[in-house]
Chains A and B, each alone.
Chain A
Amino acid sequence: MSIDKETARRVAHLARIAVADADLEPLARQLSGILGFMEQLNEVDVAGVEPMTSVTPMAAPLRADVVTEGGQPDRILMNAPDARAGFFTVPKVVE
C-alpha cells in the first residue's frame, strides 16, 4: 500500500501534527515502508475470527455513581501553559 503526498498531508492533519510541505514526500515514503511491512497480515485466513477486544477475559467493572474526589482547581491548573481566572485558556476557537 503506497502512500502518496496528499494522503500524507491528510494523515498529518488528522493527527494534528504540522508537517512542512518539503517533508511530505519523505514522510509518505517512510509511512509506505512501514505499512508495506504490515501487508503480510493479508496472508492470514481470518474468516470467522473475532477481533480481540479484551486481552484478559473480563467485563468492564462498574462502580457506585458517587463523587469520590474533586474541588481542587489549583492542582488541576498547576501545569497549565496559560491559565486565567480558573480556566485553561486557548486562542479563539470560533470565528
Chain B
Amino acid sequence: MSLTDLTIAEARARLRSRDLGAIELADAAIEAAAGAGALNAFSSLTPDRARRQATEAAARLKAGDAPDLCGIPLGIKDLFCVEDAPAQAASRILEGFRPPYESTVTAQLWQAGAVCVGKLNMDEFAMGSSNETSVYGPVVSPWRRRGDTAPLTPGGSSGGSAAAVAGSLVLGATGTDTGGSIRQPAAFTGTVGVKPTYGRCSRWGIVAFASSLDQAGPMTRTVRDAAIMLKAMAGHDPKDSTSADRPVPDFEAALTGDMRGRKIGIPREYRVDGMPAEIEAIWQQGADWLRAAGAEIVEVSLPHTKYALPAYYVIAPAEASSNLARYDGVRYGRRARLSANEGITALYERTRAEGFGAEVRRRIMVGTYVLSAGYYDAYYLRAQKVRTLIKRDFETVFDAGVDAILTPATPSSAFAIGAMAEADPVQMYLNDVFTVTVNLAGLPGAAVPAGLDASGLPLGLQVIGRPWDEAGMLDVAFTLERASGFAASPEKWW
C-alpha cells in the first residue's frame, strides 16, 4: 500500500499526529504521478511547486496551525488558472498561456495548505464525456475490464481528475461540471464526484464554458473526503457576481448515515428505454440501502426530464459560443500565421479554425446558429422556457417534502477509447442523460460508487439534493457508501 492510497481524512490524521510528514507525502504523489505516463492523466506536472508547498505545510503542521487540507497532495483540472502554471483547457488555441493570476477556488485550496501536484487532462474546453477531445491525447482509465487489456475512457470532461484519483496519483482533485463532467467520470472510475449548488463555488479564474451551468467541485475516493474538500473550495467571492453570499456549512459534520425522517424520491422518468439491467438493479439496491437506514422511499415524477438533453444542447453551446468568442488570437494563445495580404478577418477565422478541435467547433457553430437572428426565439428562448419547467419539476418534488432524489449516474459503465469515434455526436451526448437535469436546475448532485458490473467495472449512483443542501445530499451519499462497502480499486497495470 502506497502513501497515495490514503484518503484525505486518513492522511489528515497521520499528518497531525506526526506519524507522516508532508514532504514525504508530497514526494509519494510526485513519484506516483511521474510513473503514470501511460494513463496520460496529467497535462503538466508541478513538482517544484509541490515541494515548496509541502515544506510550508510541514511548518504549519509543526506549529499546530493545520487546516484540514494542510499537506494534502491534489491535482487541478487544467481548466483552473493556477498562477504561472500552464492553463490550456486542453486546447491548441491556448498553447503557451500562463495565467498571471490564480483562480479563487485554487487560491482557497493553497491557503488551506494543500499541495499542487500538477494540472490534469480533460476534454477540450470541458466539452466531452470521454476525455477523447483533448489536445494532449486521451486519458486512459486505470480501470480495465476483467481479463481484457483494451484501454477504457475514464469519462469526461474531468477525465484526468477521475483517473488521477482512482489511480492513487493524488488524494483528491478538482473538476468542473457543466452537464455531468464531474459526476459521470466519477461513476466510470469508482470515485466520488460532487457538483455543488450553482453559486456555491466561485467561477472566477476558471476558463468559462457555459456560465449559467459551470460549477467547480471535488473528486475524491470517499464521501468524507469530498465533504472536506468542498468546504475548502466553497464560499462567496465578490469577483464572481454569480457566487452566492451564503455561509459555508461544515459538510463533514453532517455525515451521520442516519436516514430516519428523510424522504428519498425515485423519479420514474429516469427509467429509460434500453437501460441495462445491471444499472436498474444497482438503482433498486440503492433504494433498499437507504430504506434499511431509515429513509422513506417514494416514487416521484419529473415530467420534463426527457427534454433536458435537447434543452442543454441548445443552452450550453449558445453560452459557449459567447464565452469562446474571446479566443481570437489577439491577446493570448495561438495566433495563425498570416500571409502579407491577409487581414483581421483571416486572423480570427484561421486562428480559431486551427486552434479549436472538431467538437468545440461544432458546438460553437450550433450555439451561434441558435442565437442568430431568426432562430433565437425558436431555439434559445424556447430552451430557456423548458429550463424553467425542468427546475419547476424539482421544486414541486422538494416542496412535497422530498429531501433528496436517487438516480443512476450513467446509462452504462465505462466504454472503450475510440468506441464512439464513428457514432454521431448525439450518441456521445446521451452519456449525460441522468446528469444534465441537475445543471439546468442549478441543484447539487453527487455521484457515489455503488458496485461493479459483470465485467468488473464500477457503477455509480447519483444523489440530487435540495438547493444549498449539499450537507443533506452528502449524508445520503455517505449512507450509500457505507451500505455498499465499495472498496474496489483498479489493479495497477501502468
Contacts and interface: CB of A to CB of B under 8 A. Distances in A.
A52 to B, nearest CB: 4
Given A31-B365, A35-B366, A81 B333 contact: yes
Contact of B384 (A11, A51, A60): A51
A82 B306 CA distance: 48
A15 interface: yes
Contacts of A27: 365
A66 interface: no
B46 interface: no
B407 to A, nearest CB: 20
B368 interface: yes
A30 B442 contact: no
B366 A78 contact: no
Interface stretch (B139-147, B173-181, B286-294, B348-356): B348-356
Interface string B307-322: 1011101100000010
Given A11-B368, A41-B382, A90 B389 contact: no
Nearest to B388: A52
Q: Which of A78, A80, A90 has the most CB of B within 10 A?
A: A90
B420 interface: no
A88 B385 CA distance: 41
Interface string A4-30: 000110011111111100000001001
B452 interface: no
A30 B328 contact: no
Contact of B369 (A3, A39, A78, A82): A3
A60 B241 contact: yes
Contacts of B348: 16
A17 B356 contact: yes
B199 A55 contact: yes
A17 B349 contact: yes
B349 A18 contact: yes
Interface residues of A, number: 49
A44 B382 CA distance: 9
A41 B386 contact: yes
Contact of B338 (A17, A37, A61, A91): A91
B332 interface: yes
A46 B386 contact: yes
Interface stretch (B93-101, B151-159, B259-267, B484-492): B93-101
Interface stretch (B12-20, B339-347, B471-479): B339-347
A90 B347 contact: yes
Interface string A52-94: 1101101011010000000000010011111000001011110
Nearest to A56: B199
Interface of B: 96-98, 100, 197-199, 212-213, 238, 241-242, 244-245, 304, 306-307, 309-311, 313-314, 321, 325, 328-335, 338, 342-350, 352-353, 356, 361-362, 364-366, 368-370, 372, 379, 381-389, 391, 424-426, 429, 441-442, 467
Interface of A: 3, 7-8, 11-19, 27, 30-31, 33-35, 37-44, 46, 49-53, 55-56, 58, 60-61, 63, 75, 78-82, 88, 90-93
11 contacts: A18-B353, A38-B383, A40-B310, A41-B311, A41-B386, A52-B385, A78-B98, A79-B98, A81-B329, A81-B330, A81-B332
Give the 6 A-B residue pairs with the shortest CB-CB distance, closest first.
A51-B384, A55-B442, A81-B335, A18-B349, A79-B332, A18-B353
